[in-house]
């Protein structure tokens, strides 16, 4: 499929992390060795979009040491502009992963307090210059959850984008443990960020958190009810995207994708994803696929299909980010699983 991409680049703002994974399906420190990947929710979305042919710029801060420099090299190697990744004092944010097996779920331990990114002040980023010529700003709820400085930075970025006429994409990514670690007001901060967004990634639970109400329906009906409530509360919001995941065991999930606009919603049937290699970053791959559909002018059904394809494909790939292109999406949607020659 030939896809025409929009003018302007996508700016992704968030923390670059190193992921340290127990090899195979070991528990953490079972044998004392760890595999390393570069991660971070917003960077994962940017890498996914870059591999689909979009121009992407990453905005972040890492320590000026071999760890930070290696993270920059990896992101740059995937075609993402890293000129706005600052080298600062501090430490690299880390997280540790033990991959699940059978009926044992994957387990994550974070070690990112006082990282170079988390301690960067809100005025460390010149948003007028960074967003010049941009088509969209993408950020997530992880950034404001890290502390007061990054909360103000996320708000400053979204406010600048709105003032400059740049679209805003926001992934809720609610992390209760991060918010609870400081004297935070997540509902107030997230409400303002969603109010500035055109596209929101989240489901009925995210809307419930924002609006302080529950939704009594079930399945697709409940998601539509929540979407309509969000559209009423946030006049700027144009679409809400989400996945529905049923976990049979660590190796077999059933995933459906959905997008709601003000006019209607569309949800796919479930796809069985078996033989899972790595589910981390699946939501970020979904976001990249949806934004790809929006930025390339696909209709609602095509946009949802791109998001579903990319999240399913990500489960086959080690590491945090989707490295798939349009041909991979097309092949997935065509349904052919034999070797491509």
Q: For 142-157, how does the pLDDT look when each residue is reduced to its tens digit (9 = 90+)? A: 999 999 999 999 999 9
- Predicted pLDDT at 94: 97
**Taking 60 as the threshold, does the pLDDT of residue 30 lie above it?**
yes
pLDDT digits (tens, 9 = 90+) for 239-249: 999 999 999 99
In this prediction the pTM is 0.95
Q: Is the confidence at residue 166, as pLDDT, over 80?
A: yes
Contact 139, 157 (CB under 8 A): yes
Judge whether residue 5 has pLDDT over 60. no
Express each pLDDT in 259-315 by its tens digit. Answer: 999 999 999 999 999 999 999 999 999 999 999 999 999 999 999 999 999 999 999
Q: Is the pLDDT of residue 7 over 70?
A: no
Residue 98: C-alpha distances to residues 27, 33, 34, 105, 199 (Å): 5, 12, 10, 9, 32
Q: What percent of the chain has pLDDT over 70?
A: 96
Mean pLDDT value across the chain: 94
Strands (E), 80-171: 81-88, 93-98, 107-111, 134-140, 167-171
Secondary structure of residue 227 in the 3-state scheme: helix
Are 58 and 86 a contacting pair, CB within 8 Å?
Answer: no
| CATH numbers and ranges of domains, the chain | 9-334 (3.40.1190.20)
Torsion, Cα of 239, 196, 117, 84 (10° steps):
90
Distance CA 282, CA 311 (A): 5
pLDDT in tens, 172-206: 999 888 899 999 999 999 999 999 999 999 999 99
pLDDT tens-digit readout, 55-67:
999 999 999 999 9
């Amino acid at each position: 499929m030939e896809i025409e991409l929009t003018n302007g680049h996508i700016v992704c703002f968030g923390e670059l992390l190193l992921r340290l994974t127990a090899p195979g399906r070991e528990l953490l420190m079972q044998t004392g060795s760890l595999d390393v990947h570069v991660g971070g929710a917003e960077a994962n979305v940017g890498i996914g979009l870059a591999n689909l042919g979009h121009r992407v710029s990453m905005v972040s801060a890492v320590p000026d040491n071999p760890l930070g420099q290696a993270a920059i090299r990896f992101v740059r190697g995937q075609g993402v502009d890293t000129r706005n990744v600052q080298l600062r004092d501090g430490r690299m944010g880390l997280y540790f992963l033990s991959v699940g097996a059978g009926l044992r779920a994957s387990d994550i331990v974070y070690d990112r307090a006082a990282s170079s990114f988390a301690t960067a002040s809100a005025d460390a980023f010149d948003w007028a210059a960074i967003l010049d010529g941009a088509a969209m700003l993408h950020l997530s709820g992880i950034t404001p959850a890290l502390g007061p400085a990054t909360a103000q930075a996320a708000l400053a970025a979204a406010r600048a984008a709105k003032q400059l006429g740049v679209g805003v994409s926001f992934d809720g990514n609610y992390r209760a443990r991060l918010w609870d670690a400081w004297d935070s007001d997540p509902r107030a901060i997230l409400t303002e960020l969603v109010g500035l967004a055109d596209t929101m990634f989240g489901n009925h639970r995210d809307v419930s958190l924002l609006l302080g109400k529950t939704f009594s329906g079930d399945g697709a009906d409940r998601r539509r009810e929540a979407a309509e409530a969000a559209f009423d509360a946030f006049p700027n919001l144009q679409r809400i995207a989400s996945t529905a995941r049923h976990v049979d065991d660590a190796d077999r999930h059933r995933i459906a994708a959905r997008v709601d606009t003000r006019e209607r919603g569309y949800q796919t049937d479930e796809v069985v994803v078996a033989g899972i290699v790595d589910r981390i970053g699946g939501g970020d791959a979904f976001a990249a696929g949806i934004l790809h559909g929006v930025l390339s002018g696909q209709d609602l059904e095509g946009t949802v299909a791109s998001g579903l394809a990319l999240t399913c494909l990500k489960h086959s790939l080690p590491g945090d980010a989707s490295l798939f292109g349009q041909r991979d999406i097309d092949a997935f949607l065509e349904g052919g699983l034999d070797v491509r020659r």
